[in-house]
Amino acid sequence: MVGRTSEKKLQKAKAEIFELEEFIKTEITKLENKATLSTKYDKQKDKHIVYVDSVPNFDEIVLSISVIAGGILHYLRSSLDNLVFDLSNYNTNGLIQNPRNIQFPIVDSIPSNGLQGIAEIGDNQKNIIDKFQPYHGVSGRPDSYFGNYIHQLSLLREYSNSDKHRTMIKISFNPNKFELYNNASKICLLHNEYINKNPVEYWEKYKLPKMNIGDILYEFKVEGLVIDNTEFAGYATANISIAEYGPLIPTLKRIHSYVELIVKNLMTSLE
């Protein structure tokens, strides 16, 4: 049956994205997997700072996430390849000439010699595949992505062509998941008040904190506040990202939705 394997792989990918999301939620909320924050007075800056004092070892968590995410990306990539093979088989009545050359193409620029890997499918399906290529951009389709635009298929190609999924997982702070205690709350409050009054100056200097010891989360000189050494400030929850492209789970969902849309369009074209 044309497309049945692709549909099953999409279902499997969707289920694994959900399971991965739950796994991440469980792991990053464990106390032992949170970074410890401290407060001190920085004489050189003449400011009180809230900084990362210690971080947990994320090696095993990152390895588990990488393996699962790699499997999800494989399901998504191969679902497209499987469908192109099915369409080729359908169009040629089972007499495919070059099965080794069959592949769903993903290219960022319009190819001078046409899209490769789809020579044996019907013209209607070729046009559909062309319309979904990265060189057409968003093309009016819904897309949840924000920031510098990176096409869903470009991301899929980059992380499914090799073992890049082994190194794609990055750890940073979730800016909305801090637990602050003692004087850290006061420093945070004054820090944020300053940001609201001086947004341009702040964002020009802003760098997203990573999960590194010594990273500064908040800084402001609090008049009259004396911290002789350091004091406990709270905890920070990790944020799991796919390289520089944003949070992992929303990115995987974004790619899945786009691949699912392609599959549905190609399947509908046969009706």
**The domain containing residue 234 runs over which residues?**
4-268
Q: Which pLDDT band, with edges at 50, 70 and 90, does 144 fall under?
A: low
- 19 token code pair: 């399971």
What mean pLDDT comes out for the span 107-130?
Answer: 93
- Quick one: CA torsion of 140, 114, 104, 82, rounded to 10 degrees? 120
- 186 token code pair: 């006061």
Q: How many independent structural domains does the chain possess?
A: 1
- Kindly report the pTM of this predicted structure: 0.86
- pLDDT above 60 for 191: yes
**Selected residue with higher pLDDT from 241 and 16:** 16
Tell me the residue type at 136: H
- pLDDT above 80 for 263: yes
Q: Residue 95 — φ and ψ, nearest 5°? A: -110, 55
What pLDDT is stored for residue 166 in this prediction? Answer: 62
- Quick one: CA torsion of 103, 104, 110, 111, rounded to 10 degrees? 10
Per-residue HEC secondary structure of the chain comes to CCCHHHHHHHHHHHHHHHHHHHHHHHHHCCHHHCEEEEEEEECCCCEEEEEEEECCCCHHHHHHHHHHHHHHHHHHHHHHHHHHHHHHHHHCCCCCCCHHHCCCCCCCCCCCCCCCCCCCCCHHHHHHHHHCCHHHCCCCCCCCCCCCCCCHHHHHHHHHCCCHHHCCEEEEEEEEEEEECCCHHHHHHHHHHHHHHCHHHHHHHCCCCECCCCCEEEEECCCCCCCCCEEEEEEEEEEEEECCCCEHHHHHHHHHHHHHHHHHHHHHCCC
What pLDDT is stored for residue 177 in this prediction? Answer: 84
- pLDDT above 90 for 258: yes
- pLDDT above 80 for 134: yes
What pLDDT is stored for residue 137 in this prediction? Answer: 79
pLDDT in tens, 193-229: 888 888 777 677 666 667 789 988 888 999 989 888 8
**Selected residue with higher pLDDT from 186 and 168:** 186
What pLDDT is stored for residue 165 in this prediction? Answer: 55
What pLDDT is stored for residue 147 in this prediction? Answer: 52
What pLDDT is stored for residue 243 in this prediction? Answer: 72
- pLDDT above 60 for 140: no
Percent of the chain with pLDDT over 70: 89
What pLDDT is stored for residue 112 in this prediction? Answer: 87
- pLDDT above 70 for 164: no
Q: Which pLDDT band, with edges at 50, 70 and 90, does 162 fall under?
A: low
**Selected residue with higher pLDDT from 63 and 10:** 10
What pLDDT is stored for residue 237 in this prediction? Answer: 92
What pLDDT is stored for residue 168 in this prediction? Answer: 77
What pLDDT is stored for residue 27 in this prediction? Answer: 95
